[in-house]
Amino acid sequence: MGIRITPSILNANLAALNAEIARIPSADAVHLDVMDNRFVPNLTFGLPMVQSVRAGTDKMLDVHLMIAEVDRWAPGFAEAGAESVTFHVEASEAPVKLARELRALGARASMGLRPATPIEPYADLLGELDMVLLMTVEPGFGGQSFLDIMLPKIRRTRALLDAKGGDIWLQVDGGISADTIERCAEAGADTFVAGSAVYSAADPDAVVRALKSSAEGVAAGG
């Protein structure tokens, strides 16, 4: 199982995003948190910002849409060249249609779940997806404490993905740090968003490398 670290720039300098991305060469992708003050009580940036970031980096862009009416907006991010687009199932009218649209545009289709949203009702949809994002904090803000109560859901999601077969990534987002990443990897996550843990450090790339080696150690059975 591959391990991927996908740092969130939410706590980086948003006025110099491409420079901030250049500080994490070891990252497998950069995680861009789009918020609309409707789906979550916070506002960040939208499509024009993602387009500008795209123009300035070859890094894989992992766009996390925390927005209402996501069926209408998500395809534009795939058209802008984001390699992965996550929509929240709570905000989507037609998740299967949307996932197919994203894939048709050449992006990886990813479905996000808030902490209180169960995975089981969506078991039959998993084959339409390239990634499932499980929130391990309430979406909206960086720097919150990891919710340990999410570990059983990570385990159950891993079991459903294994039963489905294929290579659907399982991403966790919120409160991931040196203290929590191993628990998540043990539970079956393979793709890790880390925001404040990475960008509050003097050497963000060293944190990315350390997180990766911790998770890989667990995945290797160490």
Give the residue nearest to Zn ion (CB).
Answer: 64
Answer yes or no whether residue 183 interacts with ligand DX5 by CB under 6 A. Answer: no
Looking at residues 5 to 44 of the shown chain, list those that interact with ligand DX5 (rule: CB under 6 A).
8, 10-11, 31, 33
By C-beta, is 143 or 166 nearer to ligand DX5?
143
Could you list the beta-strand ranges (E) of 55-177.
61-66, 84-88, 108-113, 131-135, 169-173
Dihedral-angle region of residue 69 (phi above 0 means left; psi in -120 to 50 means alpha; beta otherwise)? left
Q: Pick the catalytic residue: 33, 36, 62, 130?
A: 33
Tokens matching residue 45:
């940036």
Using CA atoms, how far apart are residues 167 and 4, in angstroms rounded to an integer?
13
84 binds, among ligand DX5, Zn ion, none (CB under 5 to 8 A by kind): none
Site pattern 189..218 for ligand DX5 (x: CB under 6 A): ----xxxxx---------------------
62 near Zn ion (CB under 5 A): no
| Catalytic status, residue 148 | no
Clarify whether 190 is annotated catalytic.
no
Write down the least CB distance from residue 104 to ligand DX5, Å: 26
Backbone angles phi, psi at 4, to 5 degrees: -130, 135
CB of 111 vs Zn ion, minimal distance in Å = 13
Name the minimum Å distance from CB 61 to ligand DX5. Answer: 14
Q: 85: closest CA among 66, 68, 59, 69?
A: 66
- List the single partner that 196 binds among Zn ion, ligand DX5, none, CB under 5 to 8 Å by kind: ligand DX5
> Tokens for 84?
């992965």
The contacts of residue 179 (CB under 8 Å, 6+ apart) are 146
d(Cα 29, Cα 6) in Å, to the nearest integer? 5
- Hey, which residues are catalytic here? 33, 173
